[in-house]
């Protein structure tokens, strides 16, 4: 397993990621992805897009990252998107109160679920000290701290706005339009890969908990009464589950099962959530997560976000801790109902019945020539209230008078003026609010997992080397090409041609002619480049063989391969048609390592 310090050091040295704004003393919680890291991250995003947008047949959008206050009033983030904050009176440092408890008290894994008061009590009971200065935190108030970054839209006092704390809201608020693009047909899914912002109280562990990060989210809109996921596609996918019941039990264990069985046995309540867990399992495997250090954990009741009816997290084991890398939430109709209530638009779809139906409907047709003179400006509101009352409680119109509320006042109206009737109406369908199932992936945490799970050390030629065993699809560079020495024009010319030919074949190539071959191999091993090609004298035209050496990263094994075959053979490896092992058996391992000689 990678030592965290080694990995952070490698990340910085090799240009994966580093703390931002170092020249100005750094800004906690903000990281810059360097050349290798940005490339790796883009490859992860491309693989996600391939699976969750393309292969699942969804549409991708790109929404703004700043949204007006009204959106977050509706979504509940303004009120409910809080973490527990405790500040040290001595040194002023801020801490996540629930994390302090979890770190200090052995059998508490989810302190947030205990509530703010109990967390305050526990800090006092255990006389917890400030991790920064050691002063006692007992008796310090624990407060809710809203995680959204606030800003102002436009000059002057402007209109309050917020950096979005999840990409999801950018999809929900556009639902009235997005459903049109989906021709009003459920189910449909919309994806988005983009930045989210959370003013984390104590950012930590490198890019694991930061204040600006990339999410890849899918919002799957379904008719909860009709739409079933294609579970058959993932029935046999094997998963490691850690349901809430097991987490409560003293001797709780993981359940190794298949998605199909987990649904049959009710371990995963929602078939849609189960479906996405199955798809995600395959995707994580594809991008190179070590599946022995991976599990799906169900949220405990107190841990669930304000919108979630059920939630499972994908977790990877990093440095001995389990880290949430994706969340799979059944959000029900929460978001669309809220936006429907708070906005002017309709967040429903029209569901057509197989056959039109006839229904009896209570209606009123108020006589406005009587209502107007009697109630003046309130008349229109009263007319609406009468219709409401007719639908809710038609029996009220059996009396001579009915009382309704409009604009906060009560009005008594002569029933005759209301013109109440029961009418037969034909309805061809109804407006329903879709439910939402949401797989939400953290891209940065996936990147970190791949680095940590891919990090290995071994001995080559009597020296310890470290390398990153990244999947070819994800590695920042597919192939590195070296001329054996840089001061031989003929070698450089062939190496340049080989680079160009590989690039033309769509393979990403890094050309490197600086330092000894050994150093160049080490550099490429550490950034996870799957293959290195070295051009030596045998690669020169006119020589009998016209070959180059091809070295595989993980085994450090080398073969000689004709220059003319190189691009095709590599492409076949990258597309999964063959392995390096297949190539070795055809071309034979190089017995002595000529390139390091």
- Is 297 a binding residue for ligand AMP by CB under 6 A? The answer is no
Q: Tell which residue, 436, 190, 440, has the closest CA to residue 330.
A: 436
Which residues does residue 161 pair with via DSSP β-bridges, in sequence order?
68, 151
Q: What are phi and psi of 400, to 5 degrees?
A: -75, -30
Query: Which residue's CB is nearer to ligand AMP, number 179 or number 209?
Result: 209
Q: Tell which residue, 556, 560, 551, 548, has the closest CA to residue 588.
A: 560
Among 11, 142, 263, 326, binds ligand AMP (CB under 6 A): 326
Give the range of 45-53, 241-249, 320-328, 334-342 binding ligand AMP by CB under 6 A.
320-328
Distance CA 511, CA 546 (A): 20
Q: How far is the CB of 58 from ligand AMP (least distance, A)?
A: 18
Give the range of 66-74, 125-133, 138-146, 323-331 binding ligand AMP by CB under 6 A.
323-331
On the question of a cis peptide bond just before residue 8, with omega within 30 degrees of 0, the verdict is: no
- Is 198 a binding residue for ligand AMP by CB under 6 A? The answer is yes
Query: Which residue's CB is nearer to ligand AMP, number 443 or number 532?
Result: 443
Distance CA 489, CA 433 (A): 69
- Is 213 a binding residue for ligand AMP by CB under 6 A? The answer is yes
Q: Between 424 and 463, how does the x/- string for binding to ligand AMP read (CB under 6 A)? A: ----------------x-x-xx------------------
Q: Tell which residue, 317, 589, 549, 575, has the closest CA to residue 471.
A: 575
Q: Is residue 432 packed enough to be buried (19+ CB in 10 Å), middle (13-18) or exposed (0-12)?
A: middle
- Is 96 a binding residue for ligand AMP by CB under 6 A? The answer is no
Q: Give the SS3 label for residue 327.
A: strand
Q: How far is the CB of 198 from ligand AMP (least distance, A)?
A: 5
CB 449 within 8 A of CB 316: yes
Q: How far is the CB of 211 from ligand AMP (least distance, A)?
A: 7
Query: Which residue's CB is nearer to ligand AMP, number 217 or number 473?
Result: 217
Query: Which residue's CB is nearer to ligand AMP, number 198 or number 338?
Result: 198
- Is 48 a binding residue for ligand AMP by CB under 6 A? The answer is no
**Helical residues (DSSP H) of 249-378, grouped into ranges:** 259-264, 271-287, 334-342, 368-375
Which residues does residue 96 pair with via DSSP β-bridges, in sequence order?
85
Q: Tell which residue, 197, 163, 178, 201, has the closest CA to residue 72.
A: 163
Among 167, 215, 477, 524, binds ligand AMP (CB under 6 A): 215
Among 210, 362, 385, 389, binds ligand AMP (CB under 6 A): 210
Distance CA 406, CA 384 (A): 8
Residue nearest to ligand AMP (CB): 442
Q: How far is the CB of 588 from ligand AMP (least distance, A)?
A: 45
Among 77, 209, 299, 435, binds ligand AMP (CB under 6 A): 209
Q: Which two tokens stand for residue 533?
A: 């090609």
Distance CA 498, CA 182 (A): 47
Tell how strand 531-535 and strand 479-483 pair up.
Answer: parallel
One DSSP character per residue, 384-410 reads HHHHHHHHH-GGGGGSSEEEEEETTEE
Among 200, 303, 525, 569, binds ligand AMP (CB under 6 A): 200
- Is 324 a binding residue for ligand AMP by CB under 6 A? The answer is yes
Distance CA 372, CA 519 (A): 90
Query: Which residue's CB is nearer to ligand AMP, number 243 or number 442?
Result: 442
Q: Between 152 and 171, how does the x/- string for binding to ligand AMP read (CB under 6 A)? A: --------------x-----
Give the range of 108-116, 210-218, 394-402, 506-514 binding ligand AMP by CB under 6 A.
210-218
Place of tokens 């150093």: 519
Query: Which residue's CB is nearer to ligand AMP, number 215 or number 257?
Result: 215
Give the range of 58-66, 95-103, 244-252, 321-329 binding ligand AMP by CB under 6 A.
321-329
Q: Which two tokens stand for residue 70?
A: 């009204």
Tell me how many residues contact ligand AMP (CB under 6 A).
15
Q: Is residue 9 packed enough to be buried (19+ CB in 10 Å), middle (13-18) or exposed (0-12)?
A: exposed
Query: Which residue's CB is nearer to ligand AMP, number 14 or number 445?
Result: 445
- Is 246 a binding residue for ligand AMP by CB under 6 A? The answer is no
- Residues of this chain that bind ligand AMP (CB under 6 A): 166, 198, 200, 209-210, 213, 215, 324-327, 440, 442, 444-445
């Amino acid at each position: 397993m990678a030592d965290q310090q080694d990995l952070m050091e490698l990340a910085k040295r090799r240009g994966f990621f580093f703390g931002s704004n170092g020249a100005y003393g750094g800004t906690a919680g903000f990281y810059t992805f360097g050349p290798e890291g940005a490339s790796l991250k883009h490859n992860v995003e491309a693989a996600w897009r391939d699976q969750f947008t393309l292969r699942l047949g969804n549409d991708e959008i790109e929404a703004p990252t700043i949204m007006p206050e009204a959106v977050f009033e509706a979504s509940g983030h303004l009120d409910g998107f809080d973490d527990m904050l405790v500040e040290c009176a001595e040194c002023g440092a801020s801490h996540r109160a629930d994390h302090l408890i979890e770190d200090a008290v052995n059998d508490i894994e989810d302190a947030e679920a205990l509530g703010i008061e109990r967390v305050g009590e526990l800090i006092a009971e255990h006389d917890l000290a400030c991790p920064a200065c050691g002063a006692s935190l007992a008796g310090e108030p624990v407060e809710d701290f809203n995680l959204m970054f606030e800003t102002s839209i436009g000059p002057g006092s402007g209109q309050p706005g917020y950096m979005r704390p999840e990409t999801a809201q950018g999809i929900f608020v556009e639902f009235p339009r997005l459903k049109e693009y989906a021709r009003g047909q459920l189910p449909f899914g919309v994806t988005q890969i983009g930045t989210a912002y959370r003013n984390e109280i104590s950012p930590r562990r490198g890019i694991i908990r930061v204040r600006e990060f990339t999410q890849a989210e899918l919002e799957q809109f379904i008719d909860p009464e009709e739409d079933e996921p294609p579970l058959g596609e993932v029935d046999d996918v094997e998963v490691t589950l850690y349901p809430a019941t097991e987490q409560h039990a003293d001797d709780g264990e993981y359940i190794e099962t298949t998605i199909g069985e987990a649904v049959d046995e009710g371990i995963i309540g929602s078939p849609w959530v189960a479906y996405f867990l199955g798809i995600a399992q395959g995707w994580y495997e594809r991008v190179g997560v070590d599946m022995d250090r991976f599990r799906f954990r169900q949220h405990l009741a107190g841990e669930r976000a304000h919108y979630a009816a059920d939630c499972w997290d994908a977790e990877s084991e990093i440095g001995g801790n389990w880290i949430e890398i994706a969340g799979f939430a059944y959000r029900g109709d929460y978001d669309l109902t809220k936006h429907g209530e708070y906005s002017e638009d309709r967040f429903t779809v029209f569901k057509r019945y197989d056959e039109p139906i006839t229904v009896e409907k209570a209606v009123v047709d108020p006589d406005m020539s009587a209502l107007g003179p009697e109630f003046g400006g309130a008349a229109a509101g009263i007319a609406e209230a009468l219709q409401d009352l007719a639908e809710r409680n038609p029996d009220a119109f059996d009396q001579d008078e009915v009382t309704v509320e409009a604009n906060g006042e009560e009005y008594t109206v002569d029933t005759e003026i209301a013109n109440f009737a029961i009418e037969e109406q034909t309805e061809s369908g109804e407006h329903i609010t879709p439910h939402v199932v949401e797989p939400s992936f953290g891209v940065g945490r996936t990147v970190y997992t791949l680095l940590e799970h891919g990090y290995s050390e071994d001995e080559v030629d009597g020296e310890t080397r470290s390398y990153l065993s990244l999947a070819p699809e994800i590695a920042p560079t597919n192939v590195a090409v070296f001329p054996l020495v840089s001061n031989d024009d003929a070698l450089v010319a062939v190496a340049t041609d080989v680079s160009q030919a590989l690039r033309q074949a769509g393979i990403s190539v890094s050309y490197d002619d600086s330092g000894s071959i050994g150093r160049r191999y080490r550099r490429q091993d550490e950034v996870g480049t799957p293959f290195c090609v070295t051009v030596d004298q045998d690669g020169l035209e006119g020589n009998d063989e016209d070959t180059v050496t091809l070295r595989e990263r993980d085994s450090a094994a080398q073969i000689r391969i004709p220059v003319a075959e190189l691009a095709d053979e590599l492409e076949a490896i990258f597309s999964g048609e063959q392995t390096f092992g297949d190539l070795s058996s055809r071309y034979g391992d190089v017995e002595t390592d000529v390139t390091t000689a």
